[in-house]
Amino acid sequence: MLRPQDTPTRERRSLAGLWDFRLDAAGEGLSSGWYEGPLPEAQAMPVPASYNDVLVGTHSRDHVGDAWYRTTAFVPRGWAGQRVVLRVDSATHAATVWVDGTEVMSHSGGYTPFEADITDLVTPGEQIAVTVVVNNELSFQTIPPGYVEDTPQGRRQRYFHDFYNFAGLHRQVWLYATPHTHVDDITVVTDLDGTTGVVHYRVTAAGDDSHDVRVRLRDAEGTEVARTTGPEGELRVVDAHLWAPGDGYLYDAAVELVAPDGAVIDVYHQSVGIRTVEVRGTEFLINGSPFYFRGFGRHEDTPVRGKGHDDVFLVHDMELMSWIGANSFRTSHYPYAEEVYEYADRHGIVIIDETPAVGLNMGIAGGIFGGPSFETFSPETLNATTREAHAQVIRELVARDKNHPSVVIWSIANEPESHTEAAREYFEPLFALARELDPTRPVGFVNVMLSPHGTCRLSDLADVLMLNRYYGWYVQTGDLANAETAWRTELEAWAGDGKPIIITEYGADTIAGLHSLTPEPWSEEYQVAYLEMNHRVFDSVDAVVGEHVWNFADFRTSSGGVFRVDGNKKGVFTYDRRPKAAAHALRTRWTAERD
Ligand code: GCB
């Protein structure tokens, strides 16, 4: 699905701002027809934002169920004769949308966009009302999974992942216009032939088919370097300036639909970073050169906004990443806002792109978060319906992010149960699906400590081994000497599998400002010593091609369970982005290694 943009033939209007808002704990809105008119007893709510921490009180923070949003907007007069679309960049976790009381779309899955053609419902120059009901409930058939428990004091949302179940309209909502005959989708795959960049493309158009497709490729200075016609083909760029880590060089492909009389019907600008990605033996190659991932697992989570996208934090976080010497991150544990990938494309930052499939592991759920124990895969828990929802989030992720040069690996799940036959049956078709959708990028999943080397039934399906390990934190707590021995032993066993290994998580909870002479868990000194121990282990195993510390910054978690104090504190930066001692230590390591 193409991201809305302004071009000579297209126009977009953001609906960001203050919307009317009302929580609906009783679930009465639908039957009372709240989509038909102004919301009764509405209060103001910024979009984009999670609603949870914007309002004050447990009613919003721990709300379970529907939340209603409404705004009005003028459809610009100049859009007469155009196709008008309403697009929601994300609604967490499910939503239904009405325009002037007419239902136009529903969507499940909290981190990918959805849109509807509303041309027939609008009159350019006149106002429309947009109503969205967002539901935050998770079940065993959603990705991520969870369940709602009826307690004597009301409904409670339980889930098996370690971050707060923020909800709401987390990203932009757009009204946009295109010609009726328009570019519908573009796929770009790049390759190298010596020093010549090869850009394979495929364009699908919708509407009238009496047109030709013309593609003009310009370099960053605006000079045309190649052009061709046809819905599918290739462009060749002699002595191409490659997209590379640290060098986010982008070409611009102007994709035009041209009428028989030569008039341009529609134009869409697709950024193109020419680069290759390849796994060879234990190496991860970008443009044929070995790449070592330095960076973080992160979260979209900032004070008050929760998961609401915010350009201020986007740029600030990326500046901090640059300061510390990071070159990459994983979108743990869900697809991030599209603005994030565009920034990464432009700045040469490498991304491991992850689906929202987190918490598919009742072994961890019982152990860490408490609560009743379940079987992970069973007809009553994660079943064929869940797998279809999982397939759908993979489809939507690849459809949205396939053209980003920054994305170099698809991670189809974080820490699922992976040591059982049931896990293999569940996952085998999902690996196949990801490869079928995109044969050009390595596919992997993130392995959990409960499935150590020799027990994992999924790792042979992955192109890259991604391991989350907490030696010295969840095991051998406080005993870094024994942790180092055990960790090295396990890692050397994985190295024997002959694939590149990325350590996608290692970290220690740390209270900023807590100090100790000898490294005690929770102190800043312990976090530094813990990271140093890990680095000694990584540096001794050649197959390790990356280290992503857990986590970039402290983040919010559910308040059920005694494992977390004021959220997860494994951040190298605090929730408000101040450095802990570990930030300076990492900077020393990561900037010294910079070529
Ligand atoms: C993990 C999970 C991550 C948690 C982290 C922790 O393995 O992937 O979501 O937050 O451990 O801090 O326990």
CB 82 within 8 A of CB 179: yes
Residue 409 forms part of a structural domain: yes
Report CA torsion sign: 171, 175, 177, 178.
positive
What residue's CA is closest to ligand 1, atom 3? 162
Which residue has tokens 């070529």? 595
DSSP secondary structure letter of residue 234: E
Range of the domain at 260: 182-275
CATH of the domain at 318: 3.20.20.80
Q: Which tokens in the block code for residue 305?
A: 């906004």
What is the spatial distance between Cα 397 and Cα 196, in angstroms, rounded to a whole number?
30
- Tell me whether residue 455 is in a domain: yes
- Kindly report the average pLDDT of the chain as a whole number: 96
Q: Check whether residue 435 and residue 396 sit in a common domain.
A: yes
Query: By percentage, how much of the chain surpasses pLDDT 90?
Result: 95
One domain, residues 425 and 543: yes
**Within a domain: residue 217?**
yes
pLDDT (tens digit per residue) in 503-553: 999 999 999 999 999 999 999 999 999 999 999 999 999 999 999 999 999
Listing DSSP states for 367-395 in one string gives: HHH-S----SBSSSSB-HHHHHHHHHHHH
Gap from CA of 516 to ligand 1 centroid (Å): 25
Number of domains in the chain: 3
Question: Whole-angstrom Cα distance, residue 540 to residue 528?
Answer: 19
Which residue, judged by its Cα, is nearest atom 10 of ligand 1?
A: 162
Taken as a whole, the chain contains a residue count of 595
pTM > 0.80: yes or no: yes
505 is catalytic: yes
204 domain residue, yes or no: yes
Interface predicted TM-score (ipTM) of this complex, two decimals: 0.99
Is residue 421 located within the same domain as residue 543? yes
Note whether 187 and 157 are same-domain residues.
Answer: no
Q: Which of 146, 178, 210 is the last residue of a domain?
A: 178
Residue written as token pair 């991520």 = 144
Asked about 490 being catalytic, the answer comes back as: no
pLDDT given at position 221 = 98
pLDDT value, residue 209: 84
Please work out whether the CB of residue 568 comes within 6 Å of at least one atom of ligand 1.
yes
255 lies in the same domain as 318: no
> Which among 450, 568, 569, 572 is the best mutation to test ligand 1's pocket, defined by most ligand atoms within 8 Å of the CB?
568
Contact 142, 108 (CB under 8 A): yes
The residues with which 382 forms a beta bridge, in sequence order, are: 377
Q: Where among 178, 194, 229 does a domain terminate? A: 178
Cβ neighbours of residue 588 closer than 8 Å, sequence gap 6 or more: none
Q: Is 468 in the pocket of ligand 1 (CB under 6 A)?
A: yes
Q: Does residue 145 sit in the same domain as residue 289?
A: no
- The finding on whether 386 has its CB within 6 A of some atom of ligand 1 is no
Report CA(297)–ligand 1 centroid distance (Å): 10
Calpha distance 308→300 (Å, rounded): 8
Residue whose C-alpha is closest to residue 426's, from 469, 375, 463: 375
Q: Is the CB of 415 under 6 A from ligand 1?
A: yes
Which atom, in ligand 1's list, is nearest to the CA of 332?
A: 9
pLDDT digits (tens, 9 = 90+) for 477-491: 999 999 999 999 999
The atom of ligand 1 lying closest to the CA of 474 is: 13
> Which domain-ending residue is among 241, 275, 309?
275
Ligand 1 mean position, distance from CA 275 (Å):
32
Q: How far apart are CA 13 and CA 118, in angstroms?
A: 14
Q: Burial level of 515, CB count in 10 A (0-12/13-18/19+)?
A: exposed
Classify strands 251-258 and 264-272 as parallel, antiparallel or unpaired: antiparallel
- Same domain? For 389 and 514 the reply is yes
The reply to whether ligand 1 has any atom less than 6 angstroms from the CB of 157 is no
Q: Residue 1's pLDDT is what?
A: 87
Strand pairing partners for 107? 95
Q: Does 141 map to a domain?
A: yes
Q: Are 238 and 116 part of one and the same domain?
A: no
Residue nearest atom 9 in ligand 1 by C-alpha distance: 162
CB 558 within 8 A of CB 165: yes
The reply to whether ligand 1 has any atom less than 6 angstroms from the CB of 270 is no
Judged by DSSP in three states, 284 sits in: strand
Non-local (6+) Cβ contacts of 140 within 8 A are 146, 147, 380, 381, 382, 383, 386
Q: What is the pLDDT of residue 595?
A: 46
Residues 496 and 584 in one domain: yes
Distance of CA 337 to the CA centre of its chain: 7
Collect the ranges in the chain with pLDDT lower than 50.
595
Whether residues 36 and 166 share a domain: the answer is: yes
Q: Which amino acid is at 114?
A: F
504 ligand 1 Cβ < 6 A: no
**CA 109/CA 95 separation, integer angstroms:** 9
Look at residue 446 and tell me if it is in a domain.
Answer: yes
Q: Computed over its alpha carbons, how large is the radius of gyration of the chain?
A: 24
Whichever domain contains 237, its CATH number is 2.60.40.10
Same domain, yes or no, for 136 and 205?
no
The CATH number for 144's domain is: 2.60.120.260
Residue 2, domain member (yes or no): no
Q: Are residues 23 and 79 in the same domain?
A: yes
In a domain, 499, yes or no: yes
**What angle, rounded to 10 degrees, do the helices at 311-324 and 581-592 form?**
60
Query: Do the strands 289-290 and 283-286 form a parallel or antiparallel pair, or are they unpaired?
Result: antiparallel
